[in-house]
């Protein structure tokens, strides 16, 4: 079988119908999601203080080891639910979920 050249062309989801959610207790800021996403949904940056405080004890330890960096989704409405980020993440930190109507007008998480 030929590799997919344009994966979003095979995805029927309307942009913003689904959204990726990052489990920050698992994320190690390896940025594979940035490389995989054809819609530029992700960025990796320093974790916000309130997100750091919400981590488990192990998650805080991991976060410190990885420079307190994590993945965010500033362009979440562009998501076309191709699933490439889910399979690319080496930490199994990303899940796709149906976006709520109010979340479809939001930008980041």
Residues that bind ligand SF4 (CB under 6 A): 20, 22, 27-33, 36-37, 39, 41, 44, 71, 79-85, 89, 91, 93-94, 96
Assigned token pair, 91: 């930490």
Angle at 66 between CA 64 and CA 67, to 5 degrees: 65
Kindly provide the residue ranges of all beta strands, DSSP E only, lying in 1-109, ordered along the sequence.
18-22, 43-46, 69-72, 94-98
User: Among residues 2 and 82, whose Cβ is nearest to ligand SF4?
Assistant: 82
CB of 98 to ligand SF4, least distance (A): 12
Q: Tell me how far, at minimum, the Cβ of 57 lies from ligand SF4, in Å.
A: 19
Q: Which is nearer to ligand SF4, 27 or 105 (CB)?
A: 27
DSSP letter at 15 equals T
Least distance from ligand SF4 to the Cβ atom of residue 64, Å = 15
Q: Which residue has the tokens 């995989």?
A: 36
Cβ atoms within 10 A of the Cβ of 21, count? Answer: 15
CB of 17 to ligand SF4, least distance (A): 10
């Amino acid at each position: 079988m030929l590799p997919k050249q344009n994966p979003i062309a095979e995805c029927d989801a309307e942009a913003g119908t689904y959204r990726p959610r990052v489990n920050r207790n698992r994320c190690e800021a390896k940025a594979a999601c940035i490389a995989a996403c054809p819609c530029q949904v992700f960025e990796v940056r320093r974790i916000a203080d309130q997100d750091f405080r919400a981590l488990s004890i192990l998650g805080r330890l991991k976060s410190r080891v990885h420079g307190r960096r994590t993945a965010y989704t500033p362009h979440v409405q562009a998501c076309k639910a191709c699933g490439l980020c889910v399979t690319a993440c080496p930490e199994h930190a990303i899940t796709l979920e149906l976006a709520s109507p109010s979340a479809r007008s939001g930008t980041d998480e």
